[in-house]
């Protein structure tokens, strides 16, 4: 049967040092997974169950130049460790969760904070605050088979050379294996799923012309310029 129109292109991530790419399936994001960030957003950082929101697959882009988003005057940066699922499953145990990880990358969750604030006030979904075009830049993927599973290490973001966010992966409220286990109790995970694992404190606005550099020890760097 013929398509009514051409199917959309597949969103892919490049694998560092390999002549292969990862097709992206779903993009899951963990909210408020660092205590200091929870506090700066006005929430209690107690270890309550994680919650998730989603970005559309085609919000994921490589680093480079991206446009300042439409319909907003307050776009914020959120530097994050991104987990790439290589083996799917449901109700995955914490002890087995890391066996489902294909690799890791550096990501930035861009947020239209003004739209998010209005949605929160009205009790509405965050979809248009988080899921807009090019809202999820992601670096090349580093294979877990080569780098292991980092559970500590610096994670930081700079704008025009000035450090804005700085933390450590060990500060996550829910670590990677706990997050995978909990998420897999809600939905079936599959190869190509991405999990943005939350951001440390220091989130703030970006402006046209800003050069944004993100880094996670042992995983790599991501550079984005806003035009």
The pLDDT of residue 45 is: 64
**Average of pLDDT values for 152-159?**
98
The pLDDT of residue 124 is: 96
Task: Please give the full DSSP string across 172-211, using - where no structure is assigned.
Answer: BSS-HHHHHHHHHTTS-B-TT-EEE----S--EEE-TT-E
Question: Is 3.90.850.10 the CATH classification of the domain at 12-226?
Answer: yes
Q: Are 140 and 13 in contact (CB under 8 A)?
A: yes
**Pairing, β 21-23 against β 12-14:** antiparallel
68: how many CB neighbours lie within 10 A of its CB?
15
Would you say residue 37 has pLDDT above 80? no
For the chain, the structural domain boundaries read: 12-226
Instruction: List all residues 6 or more positions away from 102 whose beta carbon is below 8 Å from its beta carbon.
Output: 22, 84, 85, 86, 87, 141, 143, 144, 191
The pLDDT of residue 43 is: 67
**Average of pLDDT values for 64-70?**
98
Residue 41 banded pLDDT, cuts 50, 70, 90:
low
Would you say residue 42 has pLDDT above 70? no
């Amino acid at each position: 049967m013929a398509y009514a129109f051409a199917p959309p292109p597949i969103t892919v991530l490049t694998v560092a040092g390999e002549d292969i790419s990862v097709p992206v399936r779903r993009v899951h994001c963990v909210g408020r997974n660092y205590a200091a960030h929870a506090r700066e957003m006005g929430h209690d950082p107690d270890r309550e169950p994680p919650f998730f929101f989603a970005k559309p697959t085609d919000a994921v882009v490589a680093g480079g130049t991206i446009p300042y988003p439409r319909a907003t005057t307050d776009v914020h940066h959120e530097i994050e460790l991104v987990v790439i699922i290589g083996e799917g499953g449901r109700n995955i145990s914490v002890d087995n969760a890391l066996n489902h990880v294909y690799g890791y990358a550096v990501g930035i969750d861009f947020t239209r904070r003004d739209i998010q604030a209005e949605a929160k006030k009205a009790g509405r979904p965050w979809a248009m605050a988080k899921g807009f075009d090019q809202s999820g830049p992601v670096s090349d993927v580093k294979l877990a088979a080569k780098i292991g599973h980092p559970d500590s290490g610096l994670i930081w973001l700079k704008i025009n050379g000035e450090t804005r966010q700085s933390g450590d992966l060990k500060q996550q409220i829910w670590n990677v294996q706990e997050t995978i286990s909990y998420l897999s109790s809600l939905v079936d995970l599959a190869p190509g799923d991405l999990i943005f694992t939350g951001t440390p404190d220091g989130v703030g606005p970006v402006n046209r012309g800003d050069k944004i550099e993100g880094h996670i020890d042992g995983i790599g760097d991501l550079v984005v310029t806003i035009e």
